[in-house]
Amino acid sequence: AKELEHINVVIIGHVDHGKSTMVGRLLYEAGEIPEHIIEKYRKEAQEKGKATFEFAWVMDKLKEERERGITIDVAHRKFKTNKYEITIIDAPGHRDFIKNMITGASQADAAVLVVDVVDCVQAQTKEHVFLSRTLGINQIIVLINKMDRVDYKQEEYDKCKEAVSKILKMVGFKVDEIPFIPTSAYNGDNILKKSERTTWYNGPTVFEALDALKPPEKLVDKPLRIPIQDVYSISGVGTVPVGRVESGILKVGDKVIFNPAGVTGEVKSIEMHHESIPQAEPGDNIGFNVRGVSKNDVRRGDVAGHPDNPPTVVRDFTAQIVVLQHPTAITVGYTPVVHAHTAQVACQFVELQKKLDPRTGQAKEENPQFLKTGDAAIVKLQPTRPMVIEKVKDIPPLGRFAVRDMGMTVAAGMVLDVTPRG
Ligand code: GDP
């Protein structure tokens, strides 16, 4: 079998516009819902005298069974197109969605925006679009959904397309390059095959649009970064830091530097799944034996890199944040804990530069006095001790962070700029 390239796609859109139904439809068309389950429902549908076997029936049954606690193996939410193996990132709760997107718990390469043709642009439509854009997702596919509700009329589609285009333009998307597709998740129009109900439409199907996405930029070509999770001292071997390669390539024989510790050593061996390997790539969880470094020199939160392009130790950094939940307000001087890669460092808010409109990303207020739940803002943070963090546009996985305090995630953010420590 051909090796398919992997891509993560986030499904966004206002509540009730049909996101989960669309996910079900995509899995169904891709053959990911087990045949025996479909067979069972087809029989039930016949017994109940339903003339045609409808997809909505399958979706309802799946939902019912999920609610009764019966697990069905559609949970992995992966499916294949001709070109890609696609992992779907769902946005169940609005707040979880924002947190996951920003902290990179789910790094999306593209977004699929689902819009109900009748209700069209709503609050979360705007907010998700803005967030996707600011999180660096620059590929989007727009599904004007529930076309069955308007008898597949082109004028209804055009009206909604126009409204969605407006908000996409507002946040800087190039609308001419974005596919807009009239769909019905219920009836399966223009998902895998072109629909006969929309003869006026001659653009791609959803599967074709997914295949036309550009593959994600490879972190292999970026500088080496391995955030350290743990450090072991193994007798007869030596010091073995453990971590996941986030970017770049590590080879046996390489010189490495650990920052902010500032110590250097030479890689004698690399191990993954108890096997010795000559080199490690992004995504690999490895232990690597380093000569010239003792266990006490390196700790969790340090980042390994090559000495000619070392991990950036910062004096302060400028970030875009979204306040997810704070019982009162964030002001200058507030010092919660920033969680970035494997580091946890108390950082002080030293400047509140701008408050942003959460729907458009435009500046709403310069130098605000405080930030409350729901606010998006540009701020400057100063770590209370040396810390490695990178600009999100340089090395995305090292440029996102969560702000925690009082046992909860107060805010999530990404680094726009850094002042390296002199
Ligand atoms: P979500 O909140 O965005 O995930 O929306 P759901 O997938 O739960 O769908 C919300 C409602 O719209 C449900 O009652 C669905 O059955 C219905 N729905 C979803 N897709 C379609 C569609 O293509 N046509 C019609 N008429 N209804 C749909």
In three-state form (DSSP H/G/I as H, E/B as E, the rest C), the secondary structure along the chain is CCCCEEEEEEEECCCCCCHHHHHHHHHHHCCCCCHHHHHHHHHHHHHCCCCCCCHHHHHHHHHHHHHCCCCCCCCCCEEECCCEEEEEECCCCHHHHHHHHHHCCCCCCEEEEEEECCCCCCHHHHHHHHHHHHCCCCCEEEEEECHHHHCCCHHHHHHHHHHHHHHHHHCCCCHHHCCEEECECCCCECCCCCCHHHCCCCCCCHHHHHHCCCCCCCHHHCCCEEEEEEEEEECCCEEEEEEECCECCEECCCEEEEECCCEEEEEEEEEECCEEECEECCCCEEEEEEECCCHHHCCCCCEEECCCCCCCEEEEEEEEEEECCCCCCECCCCCCEEEECCEEEEEEEEEEEEEECCCCCCEEEECCCCECCCCEEEEEEEECCCCECCCCCCCHHHCEEEEEECCEEEEEEEEEEEEECC
pTM of the model: 0.74
Q: Which atom of ligand 1 is nearest to the CA of 59?
A: 16
Q: Return the pLDDT at 73.
A: 39
369 vs 237 pLDDT, higher one? 369
Tell me which of 12, 21, 122, 147 to substitute to probe ligand 1's pocket, judged by most ligand atoms within 8 Å of the beta carbon.
21
Average pLDDT value for residue range 202-213 = 98
Q: pLDDT confidence of 35, banded at 50, 70, 90?
A: confident
Share of the chain above pLDDT 70, in %: 88
361 band by pLDDT with thresholds 50, 70 and 90: confident
Q: What is the pLDDT of residue 178?
A: 97
Q: How far is the CA of 38 from the centre of ligand 1 (A)?
A: 20
**In this predicted structure, which of 265-269, 281-285, 315-319 has the lowest mean pLDDT?**
281-285
Query: 41 C-alpha vs ligand 1 centroid, how far in Å?
Result: 19
Does residue 253 have a known ligand-binding role? Answer: no
Cα(88) to ligand 1 centroid in Å equals 17
| Ligand 1 atom with least separation from CA of 149 | 26
Highest mean pLDDT: which of 9-23, 92-106, 157-171? 157-171
Instruction: For residue 282, report the distance from its CA to the centre of ligand 1, in Å.
Output: 38
Query: To the nearest whole number, what is the mean pLDDT of the chain?
Result: 88
pLDDT over 80 at 95, yes or no: no
**56 CA from centroid of ligand 1 (Å):** 9
Pocket around ligand 1 at a 6 A CB cut-off: 13, 15-21, 145-146, 148-149, 184-186
- 225 pLDDT band, cuts 50/70/90, is very high
**Does 19 belong to an annotated binding site?**
yes
